[in-house]
Amino acid sequence: MPRSSVDPLFDGGGEMARLIAEHDWGSTQLGPISSWSSSLWTATAILLRSRYPMLLTWGPDLVMLYNDDFVPTLGAKHPASLGRPLREQYAEVWDLVGPMQTAILGGGAAVWDEDLALVVERGNGPEEAFFTFSYSHVPCEDGAEAGGVLTVVAFTTEKVVAARRLDLLNRLAGRTDIADVPAAVATCVETLDTAGAELHHGAIYLPGGPDPAQRLVRAGTFGDPPPGTLPDLAEDTDSPIVRAWRDHDVLVEELDSSPGDGRPRLRLSLPVRGRDDVTAVLVVSPHPLRPADDEQRRFLGLVADQVGQALGLGSARAEERARVEALAAIDAAKSSFLSSVSHELRTPLTLILGPLEDVLAGRVATLERDDLEVMHASAHRLLRLVGGLLDVARVESDSLVAAWEPTDVVALSADLVGPFRAAASRAGLRLDLDVDPDIGVVDLDPELWERILLNLVANALKYTPEGSVTVSLTGSLTGSEAELVLTVTDTGIGIPEEERELVFDRFHRVRTPDAGYAEGTGLGLALVTDAAAALGGRVELESEVGTGSTFLVTIPLRRSTGAPHLLPAARLDAARALALDLVPDADALHPSYDGARDRGPGPRVLVVEDNAAMRDRVARVLAPLGSIRLAPDGAAAWEVLTSEPVDLVVTDVMMPRMGGIGLLGAIRSDPDLTHVPVVILSARAGAEAATGALEALADDYVVKPFTSEELLARCRSSLEMATLRAEVSATAARATVLAGVSHDMQTPLAVISGALEMLDHDELTPEQRERMAERARAGAQRLSRLVTEFLDWSRLTAGVALEPRAEPTDLRLLTQHVAQQHDRVVLHVADDLVVTCDPGRTEQILHNLVDNALREARTEVVLRVERVGRHAAVHVLDDGVGVEARVLPHLFEAFGPSSHPRGNGLGLHVSRQAARAQGGDLVLDHTGPRGSDFVLTIPLAGIASSS
C-alpha cells in the first residue's frame, strides 16, 4: 500500500528517522518509502521508536536500516552503511553472520547468542568486539517477498574486556608465593603470558650494572615478540626503556605495521613503581585488535602497578629472608663464639688449676719449672682473651678511642715481633721483619698498634704450614697525606674467595678443607679492623687459596717530637705467651711424652689434643694407667688407631682436621675398633653437650677444667667397663659356638649310631647293609668336617694362623666328589683345572657353601667351575630369595646375624679364612630376589700364591 510523503513513520524518531526519510530508497532494492510493504513499514517504525540497538536487514540483499542506538556499533561506517547490503558493510564477519541471516530470512528459527566475539572494522582497522544479539524473521504480509531479519543487539565489548582485564589484575595480585625478585619476575611473566588477548608481547627490565640509570637488563619476556624486538640490554640514554626509568614517565612508540597484518601497532615503556621509587620498567605491546584508548592506558598502568607490587613483595621477602638468615648466622656465630670462648678459657684454666690442685692435694710437694712456665703462659693467654672480650664490649658501646702518645713505632714493632721469630723457627718457618728506620717517633696508641700487629702476625703463623711470613713497615706520602703502612704477607693456605668479605666480622673463623678448626675466638681480625678504624685507618686483604695472604693496614702518619713511649715488660710477656701458645717450646715445657709410645705394661692409651701443653698434662695424669701414645688431632689419631692396637682413646672435642666427635664416629663405624672405649674432653659444660657426646656413643664426657684424680678415675672406669664387656662378649661367644657345634655334631652322630645299630640286624640284605654303611660313612665325614671347622675357629680365636697343606689337586674330581654327596646339585666344569690347595679344607669350604645354598634354593644348586686369570673360580649358585640386607655387612663374621636359623655361625667365617690362607678368597659376588652367587677362588697349580 503506497505511503504519503508526510509519513507518521518518522514521528518521534531521532537522527536516524531524519536520515532514513531523506535517503534515496528508490536506488535500492527496497524502492521508495511510499512503496514499502506494511511489514517493512511496521518493522522500521518499531526500529526507530526503540531505545535498544536494532538493525533491520530487508530483502534478498539484506539492505541495512538501523536506529540511533545502533550507530556506535558501526563506528566510522555510519552513515554510509544506511541502505547498503549487509554483505558489503560487514564483509569481515560475513562468513559467520551471513549464513545465520540467510537462514533466518528463509523462515528459520530465531537465533540468540551472548558475548559473541567478532573482529569488526569500525574505521580504525580491525577491532575485537563482543555482541549479545537475537535474530528473528520479519515476514512480508502477502508472502510475495522474503521479508527481513530484525537484529536486537547489545554491544558488550566494554563488559567482556573489563572482566577479562580485571581477571588478569586479580591473578597478578593473587600470586603471593613469591620468595624473591627473580621469583616475582617469573610469576609476573607466567601470568602475563596467559593474557594474549590483551597483550601481544612484552618484557620486564630490571636495573643492572654500575649505573642502573643507564643500564637495564631484560629479566623476563612474555607473549610472542618478533625477533630483535626486545633487546637483552637497554643502555642507550635515548632508549624509551631507559627514559621511562630515568624520567618516571610512560613512553609510547609507534611500530612499523600496517592495519590487518596481525602485528602490534604500539609499544609502551611503563615505569614500575615499588615501595619507594621506580624499580623496573614494563615494556608492553598491546594486542593489535584492542583500540589504543584511555581505558587501555589506564589498564596498562594498573598492570605495571601490580608488577610493582609483586616485585616489592619479592624484594621484601628476600630482605626478610636475608634478615632471618643474618640473625641465624649471628646466632650461630654467637653460639660458636661462646663454645670457642669456653674452650679457649677452660684450657688455660685447666693448665693453671691442675698443677695447683696437685700441690694442694699433696700429690706433689713442689711445682717444677716446666709447670710454672705452662701456668705463666696460660695466665697470659687468659689475660689476652679477657682483654679481647673487653675490647669487643668497648667497640659495641662505641667507646674504643685511641689514646695518642709519642711512640717509637719501629722499636715497638721489632720488640713485639721478636718472640714470634723463635716460634716460627720451631715450626720450620721463616719470619722476616723489614722496617723503614726513618719513620721515627710518631703519635700513636701503642696498645691498639700492639693489638693490630700481634693478631696479624699470630694469624699468619697459625695458617702457614710451610714457607715464610714477612712483616714490613713503611712510611709513604699519598698526595698531601703521610701514611704509615703495615704489611703482613704469608705463604700459607690462603682464604677462599667466599670467606674474604667475612674474615673481619666478629666471631667469624675461616674454615678451609686443610685447616678445619683452629684455636681462637674469631675476634682477632675484627679487633684489628676496629683498632685501625680508631686510629683513623683501614685494613685491606689480598689472598689466594694455596698461595697465601697479604694484610695491609694503613693509618695516618702523625710525626711527634716528644719522648717515645716504652713498652712495659708485661706487654712483652704477653707477646711471648702468644708466641709460645702458637708453637710451644719443647725445651721450655719439658714434655714428658714426645709422641713415642712407652713400652711398659698395661693398657695402651691414646691422648688426642691439639694444645701441646694440655696434651702433655693429660699424658702425665694418665701415665699410671699404662703406656701413652700422643696425637695432635683426630686425623693423626686415626693413623695410629689403624696401625697399632689401642685400648683407650682420650680426645679433645675441638681440633683441626678432625675433631673429637668426628674421631668418635669413625671409631664406632669401624667393626675392628668399635669396642675401643672413648673419653671426650670438652670445654662445653651442661647436660646438652654431655648428652650429645654420649648419644654419639662416647663412654664418658669430662668437662674442663678437671682434676687429675677425676680424669684418672673416669678413664680407669672406662677401661674396666670395656674389659667387662669384652669378657661378657667372649663368654657369650663361647656359649654360642658350643651350642651350635653341639647341635651340629649331634646330627651326624645320630646318623652314625642309627646306621651301626641297623648293621647288627641279621635279616638285612647285602644292599641294605651297603646303604647303612654308606650313611655311617657320610655321617662320619660330616662329623670330621665339623671337627675341622671347630678346630680352625679355635686356632683363629687364639691368634694362631691356619697352616693348610698345599698340593696339586684336580678341581674337576674334587667338585664331582662334593656334588655326588648332595641331592639337587648340578655341576658344570668347562676345563680340566689343576689347582694348588689343601684338598680337605677346600672340600670343607665347598660342602659349607653347598649346604647353605640348598637351605635357600627353590629348585637346585649349580656348581660352575671356570678359569679367571691366574685362579680357578668355583661359583655356588642358588635360586633362593637372596641374603637379607641386615645380614650383608656381617655375612663373614663369626656368629653374625643369619638369614637362616640353622647353622653354628662359623661356616662362612672359617671358610673365608681358610680360602685366604690357601692364597685364594671367598666372596659373595651378587645376591637378590633370584638367588645368590658365592665364589671361591683358588690359585692354579704352578702359580705362586700369596695370602
In tens, the pLDDT along 620-662 reads 889 999 999 999 889 999 999 988 989 999 998 888 778 888 9
Q: Which residues of 52-68 are buried (b: 16+ CB within 10 A; e: fewer)?
A: ebbbbbbbeebbbbbbb
Contact criterion met (CB below 8 Å) for 407 and 565: yes
> What separation, in Å, do the N-terminal and C-terminal C-alpha atoms of the chain show?
128
Band (557; pLDDT cuts 50, 70, 90)? confident
Please determine, for residue 798, whether its predicted confidence score (pLDDT) is greater than 80: no
Please determine, for residue 762, whether its predicted confidence score (pLDDT) is greater than 60: yes
Cα 669 from Cα 907, distance rounded (Å) = 25
How do beta strands 825-829 and 834-837 pair? unpaired
Which of 40-44, 694-698, 892-896 has the highest mean predicted lDDT (pLDDT)?
40-44
Band (191; pLDDT cuts 50, 70, 90)? very high
Give residue 904's pLDDT: 47
In tens, the pLDDT along 422-435 reads 888 888 889 999 99
Enumerate the β-bridge partners of residue 606: 629, 649
Band (787; pLDDT cuts 50, 70, 90)? low
Cα 450 from Cα 456, distance rounded (Å) = 10
Question: How many residues would you count in the chain?
Answer: 947
**Range of weakest confidence among 27-41, 536-550, 885-899:** 885-899
Q: How far is CA 460 from the centre of its chain?
A: 32
Give burial (CB, 10 Å; 0-12/13-18/19+) of 155.
middle
What's the rounded mean pLDDT across residues 332-347? 65
| H/E run at residue 856 | helix 839-856
Which of 200-204, 265-269, 374-378 has the highest mean predicted lDDT (pLDDT)?
200-204
Band (945; pLDDT cuts 50, 70, 90)? very low
Cα 694 from Cα 684, distance rounded (Å) = 14
Please determine, for residue 66, whether its predicted confidence score (pLDDT) is greater than 90: yes
Please determine, for residue 335, whether its predicted confidence score (pLDDT) is greater than 70: no
Count of Cβ atoms closer than 10 Å to residue 174 Cβ: 10
What is the percentage of the chain residues whose pLDDT exceeds 70?
79
**Range of weakest confidence among 143-152, 192-201, 487-496, 522-531:** 522-531
CB-based contacts of 674: which residues, under 8 Å, 6+ apart? Answer: 667, 668
Give residue 213's pLDDT: 56
Please determine, for residue 312, whether its predicted confidence score (pLDDT) is greater than 90: no
Give residue 937's pLDDT: 95
User: Which has more confidence, 844 or 757?
Assistant: 844
Please determine, for residue 735, whether its predicted confidence score (pLDDT) is greater than 70: no
Contact criterion met (CB below 8 Å) for 548 and 464: yes
* H-helix segments, 361-490: 369-396, 409-426, 446-462
Cα 116 from Cα 130, distance rounded (Å) = 5
Contact criterion met (CB below 8 Å) for 524 and 507: no
Please determine, for residue 773, whether its predicted confidence score (pLDDT) is greater than 60: yes
Please determine, for residue 244, whether its predicted confidence score (pLDDT) is greater than 50: yes
Please determine, for residue 939, whether its predicted confidence score (pLDDT) is greater than 90: yes
Give residue 589's pLDDT: 38
What's the rounded mean pLDDT across residues 32-44? 89
User: Which has more confidence, 107 or 282?
Assistant: 282
- 3-state SS of the chain: helix, strand, coil percent to 5? 45, 20, 35
Band (601; pLDDT cuts 50, 70, 90)? low
E strand map for 47-110 = 54-58, 63-66
In tens, the pLDDT along 355-369 reads 887 777 777 777 777
Q: Residue 912's closest CA among 833, 765, 796? A: 796
- pLDDT averaged over every residue in the chain: 81
Give residue 1's pLDDT: 41
User: Which has more confidence, 711 or 122?
Assistant: 711
Band (947; pLDDT cuts 50, 70, 90)? very low
**Range of weakest confidence among 152-156, 493-497, 717-721, 740-744:** 740-744
For 630, list phi and psi in degrees, rounded to 5.
-110, 150
Give residue 648's pLDDT: 94
Please determine, for residue 253, whether its predicted confidence score (pLDDT) is greater than 90: no
Please determine, for residue 677, whether its predicted confidence score (pLDDT) is greater than 60: yes
What is the percentage of the chain residues whose pLDDT exceeds 90?
23
Give residue 12's pLDDT: 65
E strand map for 27-125 = 54-58, 63-66, 111-121
Give residue 222's pLDDT: 92
For 636, list phi and psi in degrees, rounded to 5.
-65, -35
Three-state DSSP at 176 gives coil
What's the rounded mean pLDDT across residues 87-92? 88
Cα 71 from Cα 555, distance rounded (Å) = 84
In tens, the pLDDT along 840-892 reads 889 989 998 998 899 899 999 999 999 998 999 999 999 999 988 878 887 88
Q: Residue 748's closest CA among 774, 772, 781? A: 781
Give residue 555's pLDDT: 92
Q: How far is CA 1 from the centre of its chain?
A: 92
What's the rounded mean pLDDT across residues 76-98? 90
Please determine, for residue 770, whether its predicted confidence score (pLDDT) is greater than 80: no
- Per the confidence metrics, is the pTM higher than 0.85? no
Please determine, for residue 459, whether its predicted confidence score (pLDDT) is greater than 70: yes
User: Which has more confidence, 610 or 676?
Assistant: 676
Q: Looking only at Cα atoms, what is the longest distance across the chain?
A: 151
